[in-house]
Amino acid sequence: MQKWIFATALTAVISVQAEPRLRYQHIAPRQADVLAKHSATEMERAIVQPELRFVGYFDENGQATAQADGIGYFRMQLGKTADGRIVIQDFHQSSRTKYTDPFIVPKKTHLNQFQVTTWAGFHSKYLPTGQLQSFLEYENGERKRSAYYAKGRLRLVENEVTGEFGRYAYYPNGKPMLIVVERNGKMHGKMFNTRGQVVYDSRRDKMPINANSPRARAIQRVMSAFQDLKQEMQAANLLEDNNK
């Protein structure tokens, strides 16, 4: 075992070391039902021309199919916005429950493209049981936020605004795991144990850290927990969406 833990070991988990601002911890709804209600309200406001119709079937890989296969998805058109953009929603064939919340697509030609970039609003993904898995939020075709949920509880959220990037990971008990914020080129980060206590603060803790110290062991536990979270997302095929 190496005598010291260097900054590179931490950045392998954090990606960047950023100045944490706790006011950004709640940039994503902590519970899935809050997101669903907010999304529904936004789409009700956006649709000025209701137009409910069936669009088509897709298999589990997102390829368009002529008939239902029982394990894929189907798409419905809900209406249009004031500027003529189309609002659609995808559903699981097996349970007939929603796979996504309603979302706006840029062009009519995108109707039959399953992996289409949302123009505005949330692009959420739900399990057949109705539990929320993830969401991406777009504004004018640009991604602003993304989040991953497990059992309806927030586990990872990333925030992207002009001049700023934020990443916030949470333990299954809802306590913060790590916070990373980069603002105008200045970066810091924090790590927490499962009780919510700070075990690493880049503004306070200097590198290198003795690998045999209690602090180093606490940091390693956080790093392991974050790797477990990434593997969980990988298994759910959500890691790419949330780590671009």
* Residue 56 pLDDT: 94
Percentage of the chain with pLDDT > 90? 27
Q: Is residue 134 part of a domain?
A: no
* Residue 28 pLDDT: 56
Alpha-carbon span 8 to 2, nearest angstrom: 13
Tell whether 121 and 185 lie within a shared domain. Answer: no
What are 137-174's pLDDT values in tens digits? 777 777 777 888 887 788 998 887 666 788 899 999 88
Tell whether 156 and 241 lie within a shared domain. Answer: yes
Tell whether 157 and 242 lie within a shared domain. Answer: yes
Tell whether 8 and 47 lie within a shared domain. Answer: no
239 pLDDT higher than 60: no
Q: Is residue 229 part of a domain?
A: yes
Residue for token pair 């669903």 = 36
Tell whether 176 and 220 lie within a shared domain. Answer: yes
Task: Tell me whether strands 198-201 and 209-210 are parallel, antiparallel or unpaired.
Answer: unpaired
Tell whether 176 and 200 lie within a shared domain. Answer: yes
Q: Is residue 132 part of a domain?
A: no
Tell whether 73 and 111 lie within a shared domain. Answer: yes
Provide the mean pLDDT of the chain.
79
* Residue 102 pLDDT: 85
Name the least confident of 26-35, 186-195, 198-207, 219-228: 26-35
Tell whether 99 and 54 lie within a shared domain. Answer: yes
Q: Is residue 143 part of a domain?
A: no
Q: Is residue 79 part of a domain?
A: yes
Cβ atoms of residues 132 and 36 within 8 Å: yes
Tell whether 89 and 162 lie within a shared domain. Answer: no
How many Cα atoms sit within 13 Å of 69 on the Cβ side? 13
23 pLDDT higher than 50: no
* Residue 35 pLDDT: 67
Q: Is residue 140 part of a domain?
A: no
* Residue 206 pLDDT: 74
Token representation of residue 112: 């039959």
Q: Structurally, how many domains does the chain consist of?
A: 2
Q: Is residue 49 part of a domain?
A: yes
DSSP 3-state assignment of 165? Answer: strand
Q: Is residue 213 part of a domain?
A: yes
Residues with Cβ within 8 Å of residue 109, at least 6 apart in sequence: none
C-alpha distance from residue 26 to each of 140, 144, 203 (Å) = 23, 14, 22
Token representation of residue 88: 């659609």
Tell whether 85 and 56 lie within a shared domain. Answer: yes
Domain span including residue 36: 32-127
C-alpha distance from residue 174 to each of 26, 31, 151, 196, 230 (Å) = 12, 10, 11, 9, 16
